Structure 1
Amino acid sequence: MKKIIAGAILVSSSAMAFANGPAGCGLGTAVVFPDANEWHEHVLAATTNGTSGNQTFGMTSGTLGCEAANGPLKAAQAFMDDNMDQLALESAKGHGETLAALAEVMGVEAQDTAAFNATMQSNFDSIFAAEGTSGTAYDVMTAAMAQDAELQKYLG
């Protein structure tokens, strides 16, 4: 479980970090080199972001240019890209660590987890169609969530 949660955090962090271009977000991008256009400026901004330890703070607090539009949904899509096989297995059963991690990445609250799991299980065939990709699965999953009154609020 710890590996899955750590992976989810890494995926969501990287999705948010690249919201501001090649240097990511942080003090280097937001304050020191806000108008970086040249490759060397991006390198210096990324170095500042990484070495000063503020990028994590920015991602956690949503400051320093780390305010990603639809952050949890982008992170969920990246998470699905990396975990399709296990998600398919657990969605068919309606429970599992990877399915729980996806719900957490999407920001699904504890009281709505059962509804999320049930939606994934009842829409298994369409979400994980044989010819589909992770992008298609993500689109079908969010469409199914949009049909559920409890889960609509997580779509942004």
Structure 2
Amino acid sequence: MKKLIAAAALISASSFAMADNGPAGCGLGTAVVFPDANEWHEHVLAATTNGTSGNQTFGMTSGTLGCESANGPLKAAEAFMNDNMDQLAADSARGQGETLDALAQVMGVEAADTAAFRATVQSNFDSMFTTEATAGDAFRSLTEAMSQDKALQKYVG
């Protein structure tokens, strides 16, 4: 029975080992519950916690829980744009709105730079939201426009 439990735990752990944080991946189990895991069984428990608590997706999207990467917020922003393209286009045309503010938050834009972000998006609306633009196209246009603005280039660098 102990061998069966150990085998199931190892299989479970291997299915969740996706990040560069060792065999347990990233998530609540790695970052909070078992941050100093050294033994194989600690890695198994950390990976199981990561997978069963459903927090790896959140960590990867938000760049938290040990899932940080240099471009984490940008990946999350592109995914956000993909999921909210129509409403984001409407808000971008106006230079204000809940979806535009949410995008700024996802990208980590500080409150002091939000006005510049809104203005940049609105002034680049035509290049971001062409009739054939995909979310990826809009995202590339947005990051290009932000890289040209001194206040905003730190968010895309």
- TM-score normalised by length of structure 2: 0.67
Identity in percent: 65
Tell me the amino acid that sits aligned with residue 91 of structure 1.
S
Give me the whole-angstrom Cα distance separating, in 2, the residues matched to 1:61 and 1:141: 20
What's the counterpart of residue 106 of structure 2?
Answer: 105
What's the counterpart of residue 8 of structure 1?
Answer: none
Structure 1 unaligned runs (5+)? 1-16
CA contact (8 A) 1:19 1:68 kept: no
1:87 aligns with 2:114: no
What's the counterpart of residue 20 of structure 1?
Answer: 19
CA contact (8 A) 1:76 1:102 kept: yes
What's the counterpart of residue 126 of structure 1?
Answer: 127
Give me the whole-angstrom Cα distance separating, in 2, the residues matched to 1:18 and 1:89: 39
**CA shift for structure 1 position 18:** 9.4
Higher relative contact order (CA 8 A, sep 6+): 1
What's the counterpart of residue 146 of structure 2?
Answer: 145
Give me the whole-angstrom Cα distance separating, in 2, the residues matched to 1:76 and 1:119: 16
Structure 2 unaligned runs (5+)? 1-15
**CA shift for structure 1 position 57:** 10
CA contact (8 A) 2:17 2:47 kept: no
Structure ID, larger Rg: 2
Taking only aligned residues, the RMSD between alpha carbons, in angstroms, comes to 3.6
Go from structure 1 to structure 2 and tell me whether the alpha carbon gap of 1:82 and 1:118 turns closer, same or farther (over 3 Å shift): same
